[in-house]
Amino acid sequence: MPLRQVKLDTYITNDESQTNNADAVKLSILDQSPIIKGQSPNTAIEETVKLARVADELGFHRYWLAEHHNMRGLASSCPEVLLTAIGQQTKQIRIGTGAVLLPYYSAAKIAETFRMQEALCPGRVDLGIGRAPGGDMLTAKAINEQALYSINEFPQQVVDLVGWLRDDLGDEHPFNSVKAMPKGDTCPQIWLLGSSDYSGSLAAHLGARFAFAHFINPIGGDIVSRQYRATFTPSALENQPTSMVCIFVVCAETYDEAEHLAASIDHRRVMMATGKESEILPSEEAMNWPYSEREKQIIRQERNRIVLGTPESVRNQLSIIKSDFEADELMVLTITGDYGTRIKSYELIAQEFAIN
């Protein structure tokens, strides 16, 4: 069902932080709030808020929070709640979700939540929408059993969500008289997120922004992203295509150090692949883990989801991906075995791209 055409200036949703440097890259952060072994989930949340402040100071463009459920290694189960704390602790950076998993929820309730976020931080809020379960099927059933059956209704949910956010459900909509409060002059930017051609095609059809999760699926995303741009239909949301690619990155001053830091995510991905989801191990412990030959093979296969190396090498690799995807923006996700090296990785990237 296509979005109804309305005046493009009904609400203000454009980026305010455009740069005058034509060669500059919009660089953003996705945070999954990792829980490191020996640290509490509360610490993981505190570190997320701390990293958001650092990202704001460094000049990153956006800071997005992920939604995951029943995962020992990730603490952010309610990004729409955590977003409020991020908004209070930052000044300029755009803040948002990557993503709210819409099939779990009422479109009207998510619209209310993000109209409230927009009231708190006008002109800075992004609503990234996804349809993945964000956990195993038993967990999904526990959170909302109907979500398992409503995924085919996702396009209509998106249309309704947009209608409520923009106060434009249409005269024939059965809930047209229901308003998402608080109303205002600005509206969150709406992004569809995905790791396959489904979300790209839907974003193009609905005329929405699109973000591809390279860190989940490193194969074929460039084709999906280019197809999104080629088939984009202007809408009430956007009059031209805008795309982003999100990439897992480990950056350090030397290649050997980057390899050492990447051991933590190597271990996590082995555990997930073998049904043993766990906390994030410190790098030294992960380096010395007694992997089987099968697990070593998993590590080799999973490495194509990671960009790692020195700042110059990382910049070159990210620039190639950006070009291949014809992307307008880059978003980076970093998890290491301690919170200090995670911040350092982002600092090196910001310095190399000269984003401040």
Considering the domain boundaries, does residue 292 fall inside one? no
pLDDT 10s digits, 174-226:
999 999 999 999 999 999 999 999 999 999 999 999 999 999 999 999 999 99
CB of 101 closer than 8 Å to CB of 67: yes
- Measured CA to CA, the distance from residue 228 to residue 325 in angstroms comes to 10
Q: Is the pLDDT of residue 17 over 70?
A: no
Instruction: Please give the pLDDT value at position 74.
Output: 98
Q: How confident is the model at residue 1 (pLDDT cuts 50, 70, 90)?
A: very low
d(CA 36, CA 18): 36
Q: Which residues, at least 6 apart from 293, have a Cβ–Cβ distance to it below 8 Å?
A: none
Q: Give residue 348's pLDDT band: very low, low, confident or very high (50, 70, 90).
A: very high
Q: How far is CA 259 from the centre of its chain?
A: 24
Q: What mean pLDDT value characterizes the chain? A: 93
Specify the number of domains making up the chain.
1
- Predicted TM-score (pTM) of the model is 0.93
pLDDT at 23: 61
Query: Which residues pair with residue 129 across a beta bridge?
Result: 100, 192
Residues 6+ apart with CB under 8 A from 338: 36, 282, 283
Q: Is residue 20 part of a domain?
A: no
pLDDT in tens, 243-260: 999 999 999 999 999 999
50 in any annotated domain: yes
Longest dimension (CA), the chain: 63
Rg (CA), the chain: 20
Predicted pLDDT of residue 14: 47
Strands 125-130 and 189-194: parallel
Condensed to tens digits (0 to 9), the pLDDT of residues 20-41 reads 444 679 999 999 999 999 999 9
Picking from 178, 222, 215, the residue whose alpha carbon sits closest to that of residue 197 is: 222
Q: With helix as H, strand as E and coil as C, how does 258-297 read?
A: HHHHHHHHHHHHHHHHCCCCCCECCHHHHHCCCCCHHHHH
d(CA 315, CA 313): 5
Kindly provide the residue ranges of all beta strands, DSSP E only, lying in the chain, ordered along the sequence.
Answer: 26-31, 62-65, 94-101, 125-130, 189-194, 209-213, 243-251, 306-309, 329-333
Cα separations in angstroms, 307 against 281, 315, 316, 348: 19, 10, 10, 14
Question: Are the C-beta atoms of 163 and 180 separated by less than 8 Å?
Answer: no
Q: How far is CA 320 from CA 60, 245, 251, 253, in A?
A: 20, 12, 16, 21
CATH of the domain at 197: 3.20.20.30
Residue 9: band (very low, low, confident or very high) from pLDDT cuts 50, 70, 90 = very low
HSE, side-chain direction, 13 A CA sphere, residue 57: 10
Name the residue with tokens 């809930």. Answer: 175
Q: Reduce the DSSP state of residue 164 to 3 states and report it.
A: helix
pLDDT score at 342: 98
- CA 198 to chain CA centroid, Å, is 17
Residue 84 placed within a domain: yes
pLDDT value, residue 3: 42
Neighbours of 111 (CB within 10 A): 26
Tokens standing for residue 213: 């999760």
Residue 107 lies inside a defined structural domain of this protein: yes
Residue 24, CA distances (Å) to 6, 18, 137, 324, 325 in order: 33, 10, 42, 17, 17
Looking at residue 152, its pLDDT comes to 78
Task: Quote the CA–CA distance of 112 and 110 in Å, as a whole number.
Answer: 5
Helices 41-58 and 339-353: crossing angle in degrees, nearest 10, is 20
**Residue 15 pLDDT:** 56
Is residue 102, in this structure, part of any structural domain at all? yes
pLDDT at 60 over 50: yes
pLDDT-derived band at 19, boundaries 50, 70, 90:
very low
- Is 60 within a domain? yes
Top pLDDT among 57 and 5 is at 57
CA dihedral sign of residues 261, 262, 266, 268: positive
209 located within any domain: yes
Evaluated on CA atoms 187, 29, 130, 1, the torsion sign reads positive
- Structure tokens, 235: 């809408």
| Separation CA 311–CA 350 (nearest Å) | 9
Give residue 77's domain range.
Answer: 26-257+306-353
